[in-house]
A and B are shown apart, each in its own frame.
Chain A
Amino acid sequence: ETGVTQTPRHLVMGMTNKKSLKCEQHLGHNAMYWYKQSAKKPLELMFVYNFKEQTENNSVPSRFSPECPNSSHLFLHLHTLQPEDSALYLCASSQRTATGETDTQYFGPGTRLTVL
């Protein structure tokens, strides 16, 4: 198993459903990230976990709930989503020092989410 993996690769859900996206990194990194990529928009950072602690939450609606049980796994729990939440959700990981400097971010293949 190499790099950063994400499951599922594709997800279709209704607005009342609850689902979770999973990310796993096999690089020994200590920081993990969730990004959202909507059509024709730059990648938007959603959450950052540094040494398993959430250090950033970029004004993400509460219908998105992250969870980082350990430095290798990251989840994004979804509930009562809206159609405009349809996007590609990308997970990334990197190695951060105690002073905050970070190495290159490596990305997973993404989960393409469609909300009906």
Chain B
Amino acid sequence: AQKITQTQPGMFVQEKEAVTLDCTYDTSDQSYGLFWYKQPSSGEMIFLIYQGSYDEQNATEGRYSLNFQKARKSANLVISASQLGDSAMYFCAIRMNSGYSTLTFGKGTMLLVSP
């Protein structure tokens, strides 16, 4: 079975600074995908970024980038130039690419961005 670990229950950052949210995973599969989602207080889970296990380049989507270190089984999310609207819960998730696989989520990290 696969597992996601997010060790930071909460993170604080000042506006315009960069922040890294940690995510490590455990799987014996070779083919998988890693996802980050943002959940504001409204409740909706918003997809941010995806990294495939065979992708050689780190994924980037605007201010979001994924620092993928496959040997360390690490998939940290980097948010550059934080904005007040980035304050939310952030979830890392993994999906196996074999069979009818579904997402396994971590417990999340609460990010608070201050002015």
Contacts and interface: CB of A to CB of B under 8 A. Distances in A.
| Interface hub of A43, A102, A106 (most chain B Cβ within 10 A) | A43
A75 B47 CA distance: 23
Contact of A48 (B43, B102, B107): B102
A55 B102 CA distance: 11
Per DSSP, chain A at the interface is: strand
B98 A100 contact: yes
A88 B42 CA distance: 11
A102 B95 contact: yes
Nearest to B103: A105
Contact of A43 (B50, B91, B97, B100): B91
B99 interface: yes
A29 interface: no
B106 A42 contact: yes
Contacts of B107: 40-42
Contact of B44 (A41, A104, A105, A107): A107
Interface residues of B, number: 24
A56 B100 contact: yes
Interface residues of A, number: 25
A101 B44 contact: no
Contact of B43 (A45, A100, A112): A112
B43 A43 contact: no
B84 interface: no
A100 B100 contact: yes
Interface of A: 33, 40-43, 45, 48, 50, 55-56, 88, 90, 92, 96, 100-102, 104-110, 112
Given A100-B101, A106-B47, 6 more contacts: A45-B103, A96-B100, A102-B95, A102-B102, A109-B44, A110-B44
